[in-house]
Amino acid sequence: MEKIVLIVEHLINICGITGSAVPVVRHALLVLITILLAAGTGYICRKIIVPLVIKATKKTNTKWDDILLNRRALISASHIVPAVVVWLLLPWVFFQFHTVQMVLTRLTAIYITIMSVATLIVFIDSFKQFESEKRTATQQYLYTFCGLLKIVMIFIAVVVVVSILINKSPMVLFAGLGATSAILMLVFQDTITGLVAGVRLTSNDMLRKGDWITVGNTGVDGVVEEMTLTTVKVRNFDNTIMTISPKTLVDESFQNWKGMIESAGRKVVRRMYYDFNQVTIIDDDTRAALITKGYFKEKEIETNAVNVTLFRRYAERWLKENEAVNSDMMILVRQAEATQSGLAVEFIFFLKNKVAVQYEHDISTIMEYIIAITPDFGLKIYQKTTI
């Protein structure tokens, strides 16, 4: 830059400019040169360097460089270069006007700080492209950490900008913040609590994007669409969107259906009540009817067999042979605790199809068959009637 200043002085002498016009012309030329140099470096970065970097990343076999060194991040970074050129040249341009130099230097430093943080935020947001439809635990942890990192960077940027404006060291401001930390924690109590809860959800792998959750009395029953440090967005099955705080999920219990979806079957527990008056040892007619209809072979029915015992045994065997039921998982038909409604028989099994609609259809088909065969065993389902 010193050589440029000498060249400008030589041009002024050649043009024969003298007197009070010399400083004006000198600074006008230096400002013009600074603008041209800044614009030139910016143009070179955007039109030459950025395309070359993008082309180089596309030639590699790895994916991470294409994502991290994307066009948006590179363009954002290229906006910093002209400001750096201006910041370096200002002492030479306004060496005779200290106040103007100081003001412009501070403004340029603020611009560089803001654009640097903006570029880092764009760079961090690029990590979102690594995630799949359902985030892994590592991806969710990284996503949460990036959100926290963006907040920290914005906070630091604000402190740095303030320090530039008042011409103080940022460390002085950080030291002063320590004295007011109690007040800040009180003011931002909910935000801090939400951040801590979000980190707990992620670090303990309690929740991921794509999980189906049900949350107590909040009305939330759907799939997690987005998770941040302060909010969890859930799309309910009626397509309504509900947003809850991570603090709610941590403080209260919530049901995550991920284990069921990833398992080999979805559990079904149904209970039927039978009239006590119909529970009896089968007679010869009932025995013959059960054999004729193919429920049992003659040798499978022991003497003094009870009709509800035979019913449970057949229902359990039929469930094991049903194609909709996963026979490798628990299948149990048991007598539960009796109530005023009658003798309780509980059916416990797992269905292969876990999708809501087909799951409900399979349950209905199975239970309707069980209801239909009940009279063949001499049993009667309890049904309260009013006169």
Please state the φ and ψ torsions of residue 187, each to the nearest 5 degrees: -65, -45
Q: Which sign does the torsion angle of CA 126, 127, 132, 133 carry?
A: negative
Contacts of 112 (CB under 8 A, 6+ apart): 80, 83, 84, 87
Between CA 382 and CA 387 the distance in angstroms is: 16
Taking only the tens place, the pLDDT of each residue in 196-255 is 777 777 767 778 788 888 887 788 888 888 877 678 899 998 889 998 888 888 877 888
Coil, strand or helix at 213: strand
Rounded percentage of the chain residues whose pLDDT exceeds 70: 79
pLDDT at residue number 130: 60
| Sole residue written with tokens 């006008």 | 28
State how far the alpha carbon of 354 is from the alpha carbons of 256, 264, 350, 361, 364, in Å.
14, 9, 9, 11, 14
Which residues of the chain carry a pLDDT beneath 70?
1-28, 30, 64, 67, 95-96, 128-144, 176-191, 195, 203, 229, 384-387
pLDDT at residue number 26: 63
Taking only the tens place, the pLDDT of each residue in 154-180 is 888 888 888 888 888 777 777 766 656
Please state the φ and ψ torsions of residue 238, each to the nearest 5 degrees: -95, 15
State how far the alpha carbon of 154 is from the alpha carbons of 116, 120, 121, in Å.
11, 10, 9
State how far the alpha carbon of 247 is from the alpha carbons of 167, 201, 236, in Å.
40, 9, 20
Coil, strand or helix at 204: coil
User: Does residue 343 contact residue 276 with C-beta atoms inside 8 Å?
Assistant: yes
Between CA 44 and CA 61 the distance in angstroms is: 27
Between CA 214 and CA 221 the distance in angstroms is: 4
pLDDT at residue number 120: 86
353-386 residues labelled b (16+ CB within 10 A) or e (exposed): ebeeeebeebbeebeeebeeebebbbbeebeeee
pLDDT at residue number 209: 81
Contacts of 85 (CB under 8 A, 6+ apart): 34, 37, 38, 41
Between CA 248 and CA 230 the distance in angstroms is: 11
Between CA 2 and CA 89 the distance in angstroms is: 10
Pairing of strands 343-351, 241-244: unpaired
Coil, strand or helix at 253: coil
User: Does residue 110 contact residue 120 with C-beta atoms inside 8 Å?
Assistant: no
